[in-house]
Chain A
Amino acid sequence: MIRVEHIYWLVGAFLLVAAFMDARVKRWTAAAFWTVLSMPFLFGDAILAAAQSGVHWPAQAMGAGLIALGVLAARGKLRTHEEAPEREARRRASAAKLGNRLFVPALAIPLVTVALVLAAPHLHWNGAPLIETTQATLISLGVACIVALAIGLRITRAPFSESLREGRRLLDALGWAALLPMVLATLGSVFAATGVGDAIAAIVGATIPAESRVACLVAFALGMVVFTVIMGNAFAAFPVMMAGVGLPLLVLKHDANPAVLGAIGMLTGYCGTLLTPMAANFNIVPAVLLELPDQYGVIRAQWPTALILLAVNVLLMWLLVFR
């Protein structure tokens, strides 16, 4: 049976390879960063199992590792590998030669994932399910990446090592940004465990009529937008608003559907992203790239879309979450 842990081991192995490649060119900060980050993938199950059975030192070591990652992230610079002009010419020639076949492996990732998710309940090996059914989506995604890589290597006739080298190039270009969603989700768990969610819920409950599910819904939607505008990132707003309003007031008190509330609630935060100069890479950087005289030109061009869509999202949630 393929378990999700096997997929995590692959991620851990890839991170270790990236760390090794960075160490070879003496980029020690990056090497240390990817090495520490590979730990939850290689030993995640063991850490969680130990914590369950009352052995706390592995989890504590991982906590110390997380703090180290924060420090390493602040030390290291985002860095793109330099681009030689002949590389670009080579890519152009290759693009012309391979044509639309280049899209095949990229599209294979989602298509194979969906096919495997749908097929998973029917696949068996020696009488046991081939894919652990509770985690079917994630395992399917991992398998789909391997299938896509095999197709890609066949189409491009490149050696396997080239895919590792190019993968590590992208990983280094992402740098700490790759880690952000994971630490934000961690923060969400910490906020829930330390009572931050309860405190916000108490404040919101004192200011709006918590008995009214519409009032709670509007408070949640506007809270997502306001926090996103302040922080420039809907992912950062999500754990705060979900722990404070979404979960205690909407899901637990008013029986809101968590899948709908989560999906549309996140997209409501995205309306805030369209409005804020804090989301600089989407709103300010393009104004500079396009040499606009007004640095808020892009926000000016998109705020009406954002506000109309915000209203539509509130309406959609009202129609869909309480069914």
Chain B
Amino acid sequence: MNAWPLLGVAVVVVGFALRRNPVLVVVVAGVVSGVASGMGIGDLLALLGTSFASNRVLLLFTLTLPVIGLLEHHGLRERARAWIEGFRRLSLARLLVSYLAFRQVLSMFGLYDIAGHAQTVRPLLAPMSESAAEQDAALDEPARMQVRALAAATDNVGRFFGEDVFLAFAGVLLIQRFFESQGIHLEPFAIARWAVPTAIAAFVIHALRIVWVERGLQRRRSHEKCGQGWPLLDSRDQGGSQE
């Protein structure tokens, strides 16, 4: 066995870790593992070229860009925001669980870029979560930060575990292409439907955790009202980790 082509894996790991341009890192990794395997330049270029051309299906999603761009130009994002604002008068858990469901379902339809940290979490979901959590009593600063972080986490979970159900999603096509190049033919449909069990599990697990966090906040507040507030542990976390 020739172990030298493993240098290509090392290039990927180090290149991504050093945050170099990912496309360049990947191209260099391919060249390195080809050279390390003892391939000639001509064969290597031909291998890169045929592999690249036969994976072109992964850019098929660009055909959705003209219509999505047109809709955005005519206010698609603004409309989506208005829709989220309809959730305004909900408790923290109901707000975040509804958002999680909404985000997962939209991602399943391929609309994973309609929401996000800059578009919806910072301007809408985080402030709405804070005000939902403060309906009975004010939050202390660490609790407020915890609520904000949970809003961002909910957006991530909703996006990640919905998008793989969309059959034109790059992840699904990447899986399909990998097996196709190994002579195993799969329809994208057949792959995407196996993302459904995990999507449901992600929803249940994260929804339960949201309820759990809300309970924790309420418990902490009721203790404070009785004058036996929990000691705040967070100061320890804040010191070390950010520097």
A→B interface (CB under 8 Å) = 4, 7-8, 10-11, 14-15, 37, 40-41, 43-44, 47-48, 51, 56, 58-67, 69-71, 73-74, 91-96, 98-100, 102-103, 105-107, 109-110, 113, 117, 134, 136-138, 141-142, 145-146, 148-149, 152-153, 156, 158, 162-171, 176, 178-196, 198-200, 202, 227, 230-236, 238-240, 242-243, 247, 251, 258-260, 262-264, 266-267, 270, 273-274, 278, 281-283, 285-287, 289-290, 292-298, 300-302, 304-305, 308-309, 312-313, 316, 320
Contacts and interface: CB of A to CB of B under 8 A. Distances in A.
B150 to A, nearest CB: 5
A189 B60 CA distance: 19
7 contacts: A93-B75, A168-B65, A176-B21, A194-B33, A231-B17, A305-B157, A309-B202
B68 A266 contact: no
A263 to B, nearest CB: 4
Interface string B70-94: 1111111111001000000000000
A192 to B, nearest CB: 7
- Which of B9, B53, B192 lies at the interface centre, i.e. has the most chain A CB atoms within 10 A of its CB? B53
Contacts of A138: 57, 60, 188
Given A62-B52, A106-B109, A263-B164, A190 B34 contact: yes
A18 to B, nearest CB: 9
B75 A102 contact: yes
A202 B1 contact: yes
Given A100-B79, A137-B188, A278-B17, A63 B67 contact: no
A145 B169 CA distance: 14
Given A102-B75, A148-B64, A179-B23, 12 more contacts: A66-B27, A113-B167, A153-B70, A181-B174, A187-B12, A188-B174, A194-B36, A238-B174, A262-B175, A264-B198, A266-B171, A301-B152
B30 A196 contact: no
A44 B24 contact: no
A301 B62 contact: no
A289 B53 contact: no
A232 B16 CA distance: 8
A-B complex: 3 closest residue pairs judged by Cβ atoms: A95-B75, A166-B69, A62-B49
Q: Is the interface of B mostly helix, strand, loop or mixed?
A: helix
A238 B178 contact: yes
A318 B40 CA distance: 42
Contacts of A232: 16
Interface string B151-184: 1110111001100101110111111111101101
Interface in B2-42: 2-3, 5-6, 8-9, 12-13, 16-17, 20-24, 26-31, 33-34, 36-37, 39, 42
Contact of B52 (A66, A103, A109, A194): A66
Contacts, number: 460
Contacts of B56: 8, 11, 40-41, 44, 182
Given A61-B49, A63-B52, A289 B118 contact: yes
A110 B74 CA distance: 20
B190 interface: yes
B135 interface: no
B133 interface: no
Given A106-B71, A162-B70, A264-B195, A190 B16 contact: no
A231 B25 CA distance: 11
Interface of B: 1-3, 5-6, 8-9, 12-13, 16-17, 20-24, 26-31, 33-34, 36-37, 39, 42, 44-60, 62-79, 82, 108-111, 114, 117-118, 121-122, 126, 145-146, 148-153, 155-157, 160-161, 164, 166-168, 170-179, 181-182, 184-195, 197-198, 201-202, 205-206, 209, 237-238, 241-242
B200 to A, nearest CB: 10
Contact of B45 (A59, A92, A304): A59
A166 B66 contact: yes
B49 A152 contact: no
Contact of A66 (B49, B111, B237): B49
Nearest to A145: B63
A60 B198 CA distance: 41
B171 A187 contact: no
A263 B50 contact: no
Nearest to A267: B198
Contacts of A44: 53-54, 56
Contact of B31 (A67, A236, A292): A67
Contact of A186 (B30, B46, B60, B241): B30
B158 to A, nearest CB: 11
A302 B51 contact: no
A59 B149 contact: no
B9 A200 contact: yes
A181 B170 contact: yes
B190 A304 contact: no
B117 A110 contact: no
Given A186-B30, A302-B153, A169 B69 contact: yes
Given A238-B175, A263-B164, A298 B34 contact: no
A92 B72 CA distance: 10
